[in-house]
Structure 1
Amino acid sequence: MLKVTVWNENRHEKKDPRVKEIYPDGIHGAIANALSTHDFDVRTATLDEEEHGLTDDVLNQTDVLVWWGHLAHDEVSDEIVSKVSEKVLNGMGLIVLHSGHFSKIFKKLMGTSCDLKWREAGEKERLWVVDPSHPIVDGIDSYIELQQEEMYGEHFDIPAPDELVFLSWFEGGEVFRSGCTYRRGNGKIFYFRPGHETYPTYHDENIQKVIANAVSWAAPTDHKRPVYGNAQPLEAIKNQEN
C-alpha cells in the first residue's frame, strides 16, 4: 500500500472564515479524505508542527508527498527543503498543487523562478486533457470545467515539462500549462494548477481523481539511485595508464 503524506501550510484556514467554511478540516484534510477512499495509507502534516510535520521518520515512511502552500513559503525551513529534495532525488514522488509553484521545494527542483501571471476574479477554468494516454488522466473526459477559479496565465517560468498533461483556458482569455510532469533523479513530480483556497476545487470529483491518479503515477520504482563519481572498470583495460 502506497504511503502518502499530504502537506499544507494550514494558514488560510486559520485566518479566513471563507476558507474555514469550505474546508473545515483544512485543505490537507479534504485532500487526505479523498485519497483515503483509494488503496493508500494517508497521513497529513502542516507547517506549524515540529519540523513542519516532515520529520525524518515521516519522510522515511512517505512514498508520495502532496504539497500545498501559499502564504508562508518563506517560513519553510531550508533544512527541511533540502531533506525533501534529497528524498525526491532518491525516488519519493512529489505532487505540487496550485500556489505550491512558488514553494521553495518546487523552485529548487525546477531551477527557475516559477513565476506567472495571476488574477483572482472567480472566472471559469477549462482544463483540457492534451495527453489522453497518460495514466494521470485515467477516467477523465476531454476536459474538466471549474465554474470559479483563480487565473494563472503564461508565461509560466518553468523548464519545459517532460510531459504536458493539461492545458487550461480561462474565461478572461489566458491559457496556462496546468498539468506538468518532471523527473528529477529517481523521483517523479507532477504540478497541478487548480486549487485556490476560496473555491471548493478540492471537493470536485474530477480534481480528486486526477490527484489520486497522480499519486499512483508518482509511486517510487524499485531501483536504487545511481552511484556517481570515480568508477572502477568492469572489464580489464589493455594498456591502462598508471
Structure 2
Amino acid sequence: MKKELKEKFPLWCSDMKQGQNSLMLTDDLDSLLGCAIERYVKGNEINYFYNFNKIFVANQEEQRKAIGIDLALHKGKSWCNHVVRINEDDYVNPQTANINALLKVHSGNYTKKYAMSTALTMWSYYGLPLPESKVSKMLLLCVDSSFLGHYNNSFKPVHNAYLKLLGFEELIDLLNDTSMADYEALQKEYKTKAKIKLNTEGFLQTNLPLAELQGAFSLPLELPNQHFSLRNQFKEGKGEVRNTVSKDQLENVISFALTGKRFFKYTYF
C-alpha cells in the first residue's frame, strides 16, 4: 500500500499486539477471508456473527472488543469497503479502516468509490504477498467481484488508480490479460458468492469450498465450530439520499452504508 494512503488509516490497524481483539464475521467470503487475515497477522479469533439485523455470540464471557470485518459500523473498530457518507462532511466512524471513508467518497462522488473487497484492502495494508499462481490471484479478485470495475470502460481508470494505491500493479496486468467471463467462471466453480448462515442448531455453515479456497490463498480458512446464540437484535431502515441530507437525521445507528448513489440501508436500536 502506498504510504500516502496507509498513513490515513486508524492507529489501531498498525498495532501488532497479538490476540487483543475478537472478530465479528458477516455472511460472505469477503468477511471470512478478512477474518482469516486478522487471525494470521494478529491472532484474533471470530467470536461474533452479524447477519445485518442480528448479532450472535459464541463465548458470552468474552471481554475483548470486537473488530467488525466487512462491516460498516457506526462506532467501534471495523474493516470496511462501503460508502458511508451521504454528504462530504457527514459523520464517519473514526475507527473504521475504510478507503471510501478515508478518501471522503459520498453520494455526490459515488462513481469515484473504491469498488473492491475489504479483504484486498487488508491484504495490501498488512503487506501480504500476492498468491503465487495465476488462478489464485484471479480468485482473490473474485472476492466481492473485485475484478468487475476493470471491465467498465468509464470506471476502469478509477479502478486502476485504486489498484496502484494498493501497490497491486501486477493485478492490473493480470486483468488486462484476462476477461470478465474468466472471473465469472471461477466464481461459479468456487461458489465464491455462497453465503454463510447460522443453522437451526446455532452453528455456522456454508457451501463455500473452504479447503480449495484455503489452498488458493495459503491462509487457514475455516468457520468456527462453536455454538452461537442471539445477543442483539436491531431494526432495519432504508432511505433515499434526496430525503436525507446527513446521517445526523438518523437516530441510534448501528451500521450504515449506501447501496447505490441514491439509496442507503442501516440498522438501529
Structure 1 or 2: more helix by fraction:
2
> What TM-score, normalized by structure 2, do the two folds share?
0.33
| TM-score, normalised via structure 1 length | 0.35
Higher radius of gyration, 1 or 2: 1
Q: Please state which structure has a larger fraction of its residues in strand.
A: 1
